[in-house]
Amino acid sequence: MYVYKCVSIYSPPSPSLSCLSDHHNRPLPCVPLSESNPVVHLRETRKRRGSFVVSLSATMSACKDQDPRIHGIKTKIRVVPNFPKPGIMFQDITTLLLDPKAFKDTIDLFVERYKGKNISVVAGIEARGFIFGPPIALAIGAKFVPLRKPRKLPGKVISEEYILEYGRDCLEMHVGAVEPGDRALVVDDLIATGGTLCAAMNLLERVGAEVVECACVIELPELKGRDRLNGKPLYILVEYH
C-alpha cells in the first residue's frame, strides 16, 4: 500500500519584497498530526544589499487547510516498482500529464505562488523539469533556461558536477542565459537526495543570480534532499513516504 501524504508549504507574509508568502496570506497553522510532527525549518536569508530577512517554511502532512487540487494531483502520480533498478519505487509523473485538469492544477499552483514575485528566470532540470518549467515561465513572465546533461547545449556552457549514489554526473547551463541579479526559480519533477537541485542552484549562483526557491511536484522526504539546498526554500506539492 502506498500512502501519499498531502503537503502544503506555507511562508507567512513578509515585509521584504523578495520573500514569498502563502497565496492565502494565512498565518502558519499548527496542526497536531497522528503520524509525524510538523517539521519547521527556520531559514535566514541575507538579502544582497545586506538587510536581514527571515522566512519560515513548514512542511506539514495531512494539513486540513491544503488546497483541494492537491488530492487530484497526487492520485494521478503512478508508482512503478523496481525502476530503474530493484528497490526503487519510481514516481511517474507521466500519468499526471495525461489528465489535463490535474496537469493544469499543478501548473496553476506554482504560478499562483510565483506570479508577481519578480522572478525573472525559471531554470528547469533535464528532462522532466522541461515539462513543468516552461508553462510556469510563460505564465509568470520569466525566461526559461534549460539545465542539461553534458554536451547537449551548443555553444559556451558552464558545468557543475554532482555526486550520485555511484559515481558522478554533471549539469550544464548556457553562458549568458542568466545574468547577475536575475531572480531564479529552479524546477524539477521530484527532489530525492537534492544533489541535482544543489548543482542547479550552484550554476545559477555562480553567474550571480539569486535563487529564490526550488519547486518540485514531489518530495521523498526520507532522503532529506531539503537539507542539501544550502538553506534555500523548497516548495513541493506532494510527499511520498
Partner 1 sequence: MFAGENGLQGDPRLKAISEAIRVVPHFPKPGIMFQDITTLLLDHKAFKDTVDIFVDRYRDMGISVVAGVEARGFMFGPSIALAIGAKFVPLRKPKKLPGEVISEAYVLEYGTDCLEMHVGAVQRGERALVIDDLIATGGTLCAAIKLLERVGAEVVECACVIGLPEAKGQCRLNGKPLYILVEPRK
140, exposed or middle or buried, with CB in 10 Å at 0-12, 13-18, 19+? buried
The span from the CA of 147 to the CA of 136, in Å, is: 16
Query: Toward partner 1, which CB reaches closer, 22 or 99?
Result: 99
Query: Toward partner 1, which CB reaches closer, 99 or 205?
Result: 99
Decide: is 4 part of the binding site for partner 1 (CB under 8 A). no
* Of 17, 19, 21, the residue nearest 8 (C-alpha): 21
Chain mean position to CA 226: 10
The CA distances from residue 87 to 55, 75, 155, in Å, are 36, 22, 39
Query: Toward partner 1, which CB reaches closer, 12 or 72?
Result: 72
* Of 72, 79, 141, the residue nearest 109 (C-alpha): 72
Q: Of 58, 113, 125, 135, which lies in the binding site for partner 1, with binding defined by CB under 8 A?
A: 135
Q: What is the DSSP letter of 228?
A: G
**Sign of CA pseudo-dihedral 62, 64, 70, 75:** positive
Query: Is 165 considered catalytic here?
Result: yes
- Pick out residues in 62-81 that bind partner 1 (CB under 8 A): 78, 80
Query: Toward partner 1, which CB reaches closer, 11 or 91?
Result: 91
The minimum distance between CB 98 and partner 1, in angstroms, equals 4
The H or E element spanning position 146 is: strand 143-147
| The one catalytic residue among 113, 128, 183, 228 | 128
**Sign of CA pseudo-dihedral 149, 155, 157, 161:** positive
Q: Of 53, 62, 138, 223, which lies in the binding site for partner 1, with binding defined by CB under 8 A?
A: 138
Query: Toward partner 1, which CB reaches closer, 16 or 95?
Result: 95
Decide: is 127 part of the binding site for partner 1 (CB under 8 A). yes
Query: Is 128 considered catalytic here?
Result: yes
Q: Of 94, 118, 159, 230, which lies in the binding site for partner 1, with binding defined by CB under 8 A?
A: 94
Tell me the catalytic residues.
128, 165
Q: Which residues bind partner 1 (CB under 8 A)?
A: 78, 80, 83-84, 90, 92, 94, 97-100, 103-104, 107, 126-128, 130-132, 134-135, 137-138, 141-146, 148, 151-155, 174, 177
